[in-house]
Amino acid sequence: MNGKRSKHLGSDEAVLAAYIELWRREPILRRILTVSLLADTAFGALIPFANFYLSDELKAPPHITGFAFAGYLAVEAIFKAPFGALSDRWGRKAVMVLGLMIAVIATILLGTIRSHYAVMLLFPLAGVGFAAFFPTIAAFVADYAPEEHRGGMMGILNLSYLSGLGISAAVGFLLHHKAGTYKHAFFVTAALLTLAAVLVIAFLPSVKKGQRKESKLKRPFSLKPRFVRLPALSRPILILASVFAISQFAASMQVPVIVPYAKQVLKLTDLELGLGISLAAGALALIAVPIGRISDDIGRETALRIALASATFALATFPFAKSMVLIAALGLLIGFAWLLAFPAALALVSEVVTDQERGAAVGLIYSGQGMGAIVGAPIGGIIAELATRMSSSKALGLRLPFFVGATALAIAFLLTLWLSYELAKRPVEVEEQE
Write out pLDDT tens, residues 67-103.
888 888 899 999 999 999 999 999 999 999 999 999 9
Q: Are both 265 and 187 inside the same structural domain? A: no
Q: Among 365, 402, 366, 406, which residue's Cα sits nearest to residue 383?
A: 402
In this structure, is residue 253 part of a structural domain?
yes
| 336 φ/ψ angles, rounded to the nearest 5 degrees | -60, -45
In this structure, is residue 396 part of a structural domain?
yes
Check if the beta carbon of residue 284 is closer than 8 Å to that of residue 410: no
Residue 228 pLDDT greater than 70, yes or no: no
Q: Are both 74 and 196 inside the same structural domain? A: yes
Predicted confidence at residue 172, as pLDDT, reads: 64
Q: Are both 104 and 135 inside the same structural domain? A: yes
Predicted confidence at residue 175, as pLDDT, reads: 63
In this structure, is residue 130 part of a structural domain?
yes
Q: Are both 128 and 206 inside the same structural domain? A: yes
What share of the chain has pLDDT > 90, as a percent? 31
In this structure, is residue 247 part of a structural domain?
yes
Q: How confident is the model at residue 216 (pLDDT cuts 50, 70, 90)?
A: very low
Q: Are both 240 and 325 inside the same structural domain? A: yes
Q: Are both 91 and 233 inside the same structural domain? A: no
Angle between helices 288-298 and 324-352 (to 10 degrees): 50
3-state secondary structure of 230: strand
User: Mean pLDDT highest for which of 18-22, 320-324, 369-373?
Assistant: 369-373
Boundary-marking domain end, from 158, 182, 211: 211
Check if the beta carbon of residue 224 is closer than 8 Å to that of residue 383: no
Q: Are both 95 and 158 inside the same structural domain? A: yes
Q: Are both 115 and 75 inside the same structural domain? A: yes
Average pLDDT on 318-342 reads 86
Q: How far from 339 is each of 90, 310, 342, 345, 428, CA to CA, in Å? A: 30, 12, 6, 11, 31
Predicted confidence at residue 99, as pLDDT, reads: 96
Average pLDDT on 360-387 reads 88
Greater confidence (231 vs 101) lies with: 101
Average pLDDT on 298-313 reads 95
Residue 107 pLDDT greater than 80, yes or no: yes
402: CATH: 1.20.1250.20
Q: Are both 207 and 253 inside the same structural domain? A: no
Predicted confidence at residue 224, as pLDDT, reads: 54
Structural domain for 173, as ranges: 21-211
Catalogue the long-range contacts made by 94-98 (C-beta closer than 8 Å, 24 or more residues apart). 95/132, 95/133, 95/136, 95/359, 96/35, 96/132, 96/133, 96/136, 96/137, 96/140, 96/197, 96/200, 96/204, 97/197, 97/200, 97/201, 98/132
Q: How many domains does the chain have?
A: 2
Burial label, 147 (beta-carbon count in 10 A; 0-12, 13-18, 19+):
middle
Q: Are both 260 and 377 inside the same structural domain? A: yes
Tell me, what amino acid is at 20?
A: I
Check if the beta carbon of residue 412 is closer than 8 Å to that of residue 250: yes
Predicted confidence at residue 131, as pLDDT, reads: 94
- How confident is the prediction for the chain on average, in pLDDT? 81
Residue pLDDT, tens place only, 123-138: 899 999 999 999 999 9
Predicted confidence at residue 21, as pLDDT, reads: 63
Q: Are both 191 and 241 inside the same structural domain? A: no
Residue 404 pLDDT greater than 90, yes or no: yes
Residue 234 DSSP class:
S
